[in-house]
Amino acid sequence: MTNETSNGGNSRDAPTRRPRRWRGPIIAGVVGALLGGTAVGTLSHAGPGWCGHGPWTHARQGMQDPTRVHERAEFGAEWVLSRIDADETQKAQVKAVVRAAIDDLRPLRERHEANRAAWLELLTAPAVDRGAVEALRAEELELAEQASTRLTRALADVADVLTPEQRAALAERIRRFRG
């Protein structure tokens, strides 16, 4: 007789549940999801997409307009904050943080778009200028570092606004819906 479970696997192979000791990093991840999903997601869809055709085109139209970007980000922040019972003062503070982060990240996005065009020029030239390619790579890494630093600061600012209970509730929602 074998020691099999009802799903056909061996019960000795079943993992044991350990206490979750990574609650602190999860809270940081939750705040990251809030800002990262709102700001970066909004900015990443601000471009023309598939030349104005394709899925979700209607959602991206006009996303070059800073006002529309702010409106979309504020809507996302409002939606998330309403699920963790944030009060109006907290909502206003978080929206201000998100707005400031978007404003600070916009020039980085514009430089990244310019670099994309430069990549195409460099790599389709008759002779590839390896020095220019390396310089462009280094600039892209610097842009990523600047964006990461700015987002991290915004995450900490949002974490300061929310209570520990709200951050835990947000973490639970993310675990439930994002795995």
Span 88-114, pLDDT tens digits:
999 999 999 999 999 999 999 999 999
Per the DSSP assignment, residues forming a β-bridge with 10 are 4
For residue range 144-157, what is the model confidence (pLDDT) as tens digits? 999 999 999 999 99
Which residues have CB under 8 Å from 18's CB, separation 6+?
A: none
Contact 168, 31 (CB under 8 A): no
Q: What is the pTM of this model?
A: 0.64
> What are the boundaries of each domain within the chain?
22-178
Rounded Cα distance, 51 and 176, in Å: 35
